Amino acid sequence: MEENLIKQQELYDRTWRKGLEAGIENRGNLQTNLEFLEEINLLKPNDKILEIGCGTGSVVFELNRQGYDVIGTDISQEAVAYGLKKYSDIKLQVQPAEKLEFANKTFDVVLSFDLFEHIAEVDKHVSEVYRVLRPNGLYLFQTPNKYCNAFFATLSNKSLKWRRAHPSLHSPGQLRRRLSRHRFEVRFVKMNPINKFTLKKLQKFGPVSHIFKHINFRRLPLFLQTNLYVIARKL
């Protein structure tokens, strides 16, 4: 593995180790992510599916339970080891998102959730996704919206240190243009991200956090979505 990827692996191993010791098994909005997959209804029974950045494998476990042929990869050895121990009947491997160890045109669908924004060399990642997808294959993913996330992260941290963890935040337009350059056809799906997971994260903002319970995010314009849910089809 390249030196920069080794450093990245060490960083995320430390992050996962600390989180798991604190009882944090999922680092993203699992409920909304699963609702997204259910709502778009694009997974077919015989699809071969890859989730990149699978963490401890919660999404892989759920799709496996539903009968799908699915495998997960993550750069963190800590997360993968924990997931294999917890979910003994799922397939997880340690691989970086920028250098996948699969043959060309292996998968019908690639998934990722809360991954895209963490990848510094994001074009390498998108090229790899394109390479391992079959013709007309789908890249279904979620990533925070740059417009909203940069504002809230700066407010929360009272600094710009979030940039180190999120070097590849995109606005909707930036995301569409980047994926188009890699020969993907793109459309966005608006989801309601508010549930127990997000409300707990918003507690740091005090009573104002309760306002979010009353917002219908599906009616807001795309640039005001907290997270961008994407259907990208390989052309």
pLDDT per residue, tens digit, the chain (235 aa), is 788 888 899 999 999 999 999 998 988 889 999 999 999 999 999 999 999 999 999 999 999 999 999 999 999 999 999 999 999 899 999 999 999 999 999 999 999 999 999 998 999 999 999 999 999 999 999 999 998 876 565 445 544 554 566 889 999 999 999 999 999 999 999 999 877 767 676 666 666 666 777 788 899 999 999 999 999 999 9
Note the pLDDT of residue 27. 82
pLDDT at residue number 84:
97
Closest CA relative to residue 5, chosen from 96, 76, 71, 102: 96
Position 161 scores a pLDDT of 56
DSSP string, 83-131: HHHHSTTSEEEE--TTS--S-TT-EEEEEEES-GGG-SSHHHHHHHHHH
Q: Provide the pLDDT for residue 94.
A: 98
The pLDDT assigned to 204 comes to 64
